[in-house]
Structure 1
Amino acid sequence: MTPRIEKLNEKKLIGTPLRMSLSQNRTGELWGSFMPRKREIENRLTNEMISLQLYQPSHFINFDPENEFEKWAAVEVSDLENVPSGMEAFNLTGGLYAVFEYKGSSSDTGIFQYIFGTWLPHSDYDLDDRPHFEVLGAKYKNNDPTSEEEIWIPIRSKNV
């Protein structure tokens, strides 16, 4: 699976963050609390949802399923003026990303093993210390083998 390399412009997001680890995965709780309130966000740009992860710089160097990170359930918005109570604003800075078109269940971790264990080490890129995210569009179906999503991995050229 070969990704497309894309330069992302800054995005404004509104959503809900939650701290978790892979061993204490709270993704269901996060999305379960966000989805009923999504319609409260008035200035959405699309119907797509963003699942975003903020990792510590050493997260993948000293990988441990107990390492905590912050995960967001969010949508892209035109501005950050009207943030509903209990939600937060997030500025996703731009930069270079490897974008993987993934088809399969969101519970299958094999795609991430391929990205970090096979593709990245053999590519012309290193992992960059910026947010990772998935774009969940119209073809996304949680935990369904026919589900489709885009996986955005922050990268930088090895030659820099």
Structure 2
Amino acid sequence: MEVRIEILPETNLVGQHKTMTFSDHNPFELWRNFMPIKATISNAINTDLYSVEVYPEDFFQNYSPNHPFEKWAAVAVTDLGTVPESMETITIPSSLYAVFTHIGPQAAAVKTYNWIFSEWLPQSSYELDHRPHFAIMGEKYKKDQPDSEEEIWIPIRTL
């Protein structure tokens, strides 16, 4: 799998979030609530969808499938001046990310994440940084189709 290292510019998002854990992970409900009202976001940059995870600072050091984190369903916007009712904002700061392309059904993404965290990251010259993790689901995203593509962005810093 190819990896790109990129500096993400500051990115403003508008969407909805829910607190969940990996043991009760159910993003379907979040997306089911968000998708019908995303058209009310008038200043979206494009049609890409952002699936964002905001983990507590010690989440990976003391990992437990029962530790809560925030899961976001959002779109990138030009500014945070116009936020529809029932929506919230999150800003991802400009910073360094490793970018991976997951190809395949959404359910198989767990294999990509396992490879990133168990093989690529330990063998790289980077370590995980404490910032939002996210996936961008653009034009090539087809959820459960074998040719579906999404970008996985993992926050990193040099060792």
Which TM-score applies when normalising by structure 2? 0.96
What secondary structure, in the 3-state scheme, does the structure 2 residue paired with 1:134 have? strand
Aligned to 1:96: 96
What secondary structure, in the 3-state scheme, does the structure 2 residue paired with 1:32 have? helix
For structure 1, the 5+ residue unaligned runs are none
Supply the distance in 1 between the matched residues of 2:120 and 2:126 (Cα, whole angstroms): 9
Aligned to 1:120: 121
- CA offset at residue 62 of structure 1? 1.7
Aligned to 2:54: 54
Supply the distance in 2 between the matched residues of 1:11 and 1:55 (Cα, whole angstroms): 18
Residues 141-152 of structure 1: pairs in structure 2 closer than 5 A? 141-152=142-153
Supply the distance in 2 between the matched residues of 1:14 and 1:103 (Cα, whole angstroms): 26
Supply the distance in 2 between the matched residues of 1:112 and 1:14 (Cα, whole angstroms): 25
Supply the distance in 1 between the matched residues of 2:60 and 2:141 (Cα, whole angstroms): 27
Residues 124-139 of structure 1: pairs in structure 2 closer than 5 A? 124-139=125-140
Supply the distance in 1 between the matched residues of 2:154 and 2:33 (Cα, whole angstroms): 26
Supply the distance in 2 between the matched residues of 1:68 and 1:143 (Cα, whole angstroms): 26
Supply the distance in 1 between the matched residues of 2:28 and 2:82 (Cα, whole angstroms): 26
What is the letter of the counterpart of residue 39 of structure 2?
R
For structure 2, the 5+ residue unaligned runs are none
- CA offset at residue 147 of structure 1? 1.0
Residues 29-44 of structure 1: pairs in structure 2 closer than 5 A? 29-44=29-44
Supply the distance in 2 between the matched residues of 1:143 and 1:67 (Cα, whole angstroms): 27
- CA offset at residue 69 of structure 1? 0.6
Q: Kindly tell me the number of residue pairs found equivalent between the two proteins.
A: 158
Compare 138-147 and 81-90 and name the one that shifted more: 138-147
- Among all aligned residue pairs of Structure 1 and Structure 2, give the percentage whose two residues are the same amino acid: 46
